[in-house]
Amino acid sequence: MSSESASPGPSSMPPSGEQTQDWMAIMTAMSRNFSDFMARQPFPDAARAAAVQTALPPISFPAPEAERINALHQQWLASQHQLWQAFAQRKADEPGTPVVRMDPADRRFRAPEWSESPYFDYLRQAYALNSAFMRECIEATPVADGRAKERMRYLSKQMIEAMSPANFAATNPEFIQTALRTEGESIRKGMENLLRDLQQGYISMSAPGAFEVGRNLAVTPGSVVFENTLIQLIQYAPLTDKVHAKPLLIIPPCINKYYLMDLQPENSLVRYLVEKGFTVFLVSWRNPDDSMGNLTWENYLSLGPLTALDVVRDITGDAQPNTLGFCVGGTILASALAVACGRGEKPAASMALLTTLLDFSDAGELACLIDEGMVAAREATIGRGGVLAGRELAQTFSSLRPNDLIWNYVVGNYLKGETPPPFDILHWNCDSTNLPGPFLTWYLRNLYLENSLRVPGKLEVLGVRLDLGKIDMPAYLLATSEDHIVPWTGAYLARGLLGGDTTFVLGASGHVAGTINPVSKDKRSHWTGGDASNAQEWRASATEHPGSWWKHYAVWLAGKSGKKVAAPKTPGNARHAVIEAAPGRYVKGLATT
C-alpha cells in the first residue's frame, strides 16, 4: 500500500458499515488473487480450469470475523490519524517522536536518513502500519483450509515486501544521499549492475567472479570413478594414513549443485569427514537438459543411490556402506533404501538424513504453493516430458524470503550501485539446476500433495511396495530450528516411520546455515538426547551443546564405521577406473533451459 492512499487526513471519521463491507470485499479479493493468477497462465484449458477451481475456496465473513475486521480498520485509521498529526506538527530541524515502533531487526530503515527527514520518517512508519494491518486482516480472514491460509500469508508477504518505500528511488533517502555523494556514479553503476543481471537472468547475490567450482569451491581432492547419464560418483582421496574400514556415500539434493557439501576448505563438510578418517563417496547429479526431460522418480532412484551403492561396494569390498542424504537427497536416499529393503536386501549399515522430509504433513512454506490445481497444471505441461527451468526453481525458493533474497539486492545492486560481498553459499544459491518434469510432478503429487510415502505399501516404485518401516538400520536425523523449507517438527516425524533406532539432533539456524555450520567457526548450538514421542516434548527434554553438530555426527558415524585400516593408495579399481579429477564435468553444467 502506498503511503498516500493509506493515510487519512487530519479529521478521519470512524468507518461506516459501507467502509467495513469494502474492506471485507478487499480481503475476499486478496484471498482469490491466486486463482486469478493461475487463470492467466499459459496452461492447457483443463489444467487451468483445475487450477482456478482448487486454488482457494470462497470466503464469507461471519459476524465475529466481520467485527474483528471492523475493529482492525478502526484501529488502523486511528493510528494513521495519529501519525499524520505527528508529521504535520513536526519541525524539519527537530527530531520526531515515533508513533510506530519500528522493528529493530529490520535493516531496511536503520540508516539515519530515514529518521532525520520528517517525510521519510513518515513513509517508513506508514509502511509499518500498513504492513501490520494487512497481516492482521489475513489472520482475521475466516479460511478453514490451513493450506489456503498459508497461501494467503505467502501472497500478502510478497505484496508487503514489494511495496516497501526502501525499494523505490523516489522514496529511499539512502538512494538520494548516495547519488549526491557519488555525483551520480552510484546511479550509473546501478544501471550497469541491472543490465548485467538482466543478461545473466538472475540477481547477483555474491560478487561476480569471486568463486569458481574447481578453483576455490569443491576443491577437496578426489576422482570421478563412475558415471552414467544422470550421476557422476566421486571418491575423495584420503587425508589420513588410516581410515575407517566402512565407507560413507553422500546423496546431495538434485535440486541444487552438490558442492554445498564441499564449499571452501574451511567450511566443507566433505573435507571435514575425510580429515576425520572416513572414506567418502559422493553423487554429483547431472544438470538435466531437454534430452533428459523424460526421467522419472524411479530413474533417479535406480541410476542414483542404488547404482552408486553397487559401485561403492565393488570398489571397497564392503557390502553395507554408511549413507547420508541432504534435503530431497535424503528423501531419494530413504526411498532407494526402502526399495532395497523391500527386496530383502541389507543395503547399508546406517542412514543419516539432514533436513529431510519423509512425512509431508508438516511441509513448511513451500507446501502452500502446492495444491491440486498447481500440480495438475505441471502434469499437463511437463509431466509427460519436459524440463522445469532452474531459474524458475530458484525464484520460487527466493520468494520464500523475499526481503533477504530479492529486495535486499535490488536496493543494494541497483539503487545504491553496490557490489555484493563474496559469499560462497549465495554463489551456490544462484547456480541453478533444472528438473525433469516427470520426476518433479511425481514428487509433488505423491509426496507433497498426497503424502503417500509415510503409508506402508501405498507407493510402488521399481516393482516394490515402499515401507519405510523396513529400513531397520540406525538412522541419524538432523533438523534445524529455523528451517522454513523443512520445519524441524516435520523432520522429527521420520522417527515414527523408520524401523531402526533413530538419533535426532536439532541444530540452530536455518535450512542451509544450520546444516553447513563448520567446526572451523564452531558457531551456534545443537541439541541432543531428548526422549519423547513428539517434537515439542523432545525439545523440552533435550540438552543444548555449543558449537557445530558436525562433531556429534563424526562420533556417531565412527561407531558405525569399523576399525581403522590403511588408507587406499589409489581411487577406484579395475572395473571402475578414474574418469577425471573431482569435481568433474556434471557439477559445472549450467541451467541453460
pLDDT at residue 501 greater than cutoff 90: yes
CA 568, CA 535: separation in Å to the nearest integer?
Answer: 42
Paired residues of 406 in beta bridges: none
CA 195, CA 179: separation in Å to the nearest integer?
Answer: 19
pLDDT at 346: 97
Percent over 90 (pLDDT), the chain? 79
Q: Where in the chain is the domain with CATH 3.40.50.1820?
A: 222-389+432-588
Model pLDDT for residues 269-296, shown as the tens digit of each residue: 999 999 999 999 999 999 999 999 999 9
- Return the ∠ at Cα 509 (arms to 503 and 512), rounded to 5°: 85
**Among residues 370, 342, 384, 571, which one has the least CA distance to residue 470?**
342
pLDDT at residue 423 greater than cutoff 80: yes
pLDDT at residue 187 greater than cutoff 60: yes
pLDDT at residue 437 greater than cutoff 80: yes
pLDDT tier at 8, thresholds 50, 70, 90: very low
pLDDT at residue 4 greater than cutoff 50: no
pLDDT at 445: 98
Mean pLDDT on 163-167? 97
pLDDT tier at 169, thresholds 50, 70, 90: very high
Percent over 70 (pLDDT), the chain? 89
Mean pLDDT on 221-228? 98
Type of residue at 522:
D
Strand pairing report for 475-480 and 502-507: parallel
In CATH terms, 222-389+432-588 corresponds, of 3.30.390.50, 3.40.50.1820, 3.90.1150.10, 3.40.50.150, to 3.40.50.1820
pLDDT at 45: 44
Alpha carbon separation from 301 to 234, 322, 347, 574 (Å, rounded): 18, 17, 14, 25
CA 232, CA 225: separation in Å to the nearest integer?
Answer: 8
CA 255, CA 485: separation in Å to the nearest integer?
Answer: 13
Q: Is 327 a catalytic residue?
A: yes
Model pLDDT for residues 33-52, shown as the tens digit of each residue: 444 444 444 434 444 444 44
Which range is least confidently modeled, 207-216, 282-291, 296-305, 530-539?
530-539
CA 51, CA 35: separation in Å to the nearest integer?
Answer: 7
Paired residues of 200 in beta bridges: none
The answer to whether the pTM exceeds 0.85 is: yes
Type of residue at 515:
T
Contact 333, 353 (CB under 8 A): yes
Mean pLDDT of the residues in the chain:
89
CA 366, CA 229: separation in Å to the nearest integer?
Answer: 29
DSSP annotation of 485 reads S
pLDDT at 593: 55
Contact 282, 259 (CB under 8 A): no
Mean pLDDT on 370-393? 94
pLDDT at residue 406 greater than cutoff 90: yes
pLDDT at 526: 97
CA 120, CA 124: separation in Å to the nearest integer?
Answer: 6
Contacts of 116 (CB under 8 A, 6+ apart): 95
CB-neighbour burial class of residue 112 (10 A; exposed 0-12, middle 13-18, buried 19+): exposed
pLDDT tier at 592, thresholds 50, 70, 90: low
Mean pLDDT on 306-334? 98
Contact 238, 316 (CB under 8 A): no
**Number of other CB atoms surrounding residue 288 within 10 Å:** 25
pLDDT tier at 23, thresholds 50, 70, 90: very low
pLDDT tier at 144, thresholds 50, 70, 90: low
Rg from Cα positions in the chain: 26
Secondary structure class of 507 (helix, strand, coil): strand
Contact 512, 253 (CB under 8 A): no
**Among residues 517, 540, 93, 151, which one has the least CA distance to residue 365?**
151
**Among residues 481, 499, 500, which one has the least CA distance to residue 538?**
481
Which residue stretches of 201-289 are H helix? 269-275
Q: Which cell numbers in the block locate residue 435?
A: 528438473
**Among residues 198, 152, 507, 468, which one has the least CA distance to residue 336?**
468
Which residue stretches of 368-473 are H helix? 372-381, 390-399, 402, 408-409, 424-430, 437-443
CB-neighbour burial class of residue 344 (10 A; exposed 0-12, middle 13-18, buried 19+): exposed
CA 519, CA 527: separation in Å to the nearest integer?
Answer: 16
Q: Which cell numbers in the block locate residue 122?
A: 513518515
What's the count of helices (H) and strands (E) in the chain, helices before strands? 22, 17
Q: Which of 327, 341, 368, 430 is catalytic?
A: 327
Mean pLDDT on 239-263? 97
Type of residue at 427:
H
Alpha carbon separation from 304 to 189, 298, 312, 592 (Å, rounded): 45, 9, 12, 23
Secondary structure class of 30 (helix, strand, coil): helix
pLDDT at residue 31 greater than cutoff 50: no
pLDDT at 92: 74
Type of residue at 531:
D
Which range is least confidently modeled, 95-109, 217-231, 302-316?
95-109
Contact 51, 376 (CB under 8 A): yes
Type of residue at 473:
M
Contacts of 415 (CB under 8 A, 6+ apart): 167, 169, 172, 174, 175, 178, 190
Phi, psi (degrees; rounded to nearest 5) at 79: -65, -40
pLDDT at residue 379 greater than cutoff 50: yes
Mean pLDDT on 89-105? 84
Mean pLDDT on 232-260? 97
Paired residues of 476 in beta bridges: 352, 503
Contacts of 204 (CB under 8 A, 6+ apart): 193, 196, 197, 409, 413, 419, 420, 430
pLDDT at 37: 41
pLDDT at residue 210 greater than cutoff 80: yes
**Number of other CB atoms surrounding residue 201 within 10 Å:** 15
Alpha carbon separation from 538 to 364, 532, 545 (Å, rounded): 20, 5, 15
Contact 548, 524 (CB under 8 A): yes
CA 263, CA 427: separation in Å to the nearest integer?
Answer: 10
pLDDT tier at 492, thresholds 50, 70, 90: very high
pLDDT at 16: 41
**Among residues 297, 214, 290, which one has the least CA distance to residue 257?**
214
Mean pLDDT on 428-433? 94
**Residues recorded for the chain:** 593
pLDDT at 60: 57
Q: Which cell numbers in the block locate residue 361?
A: 504433513
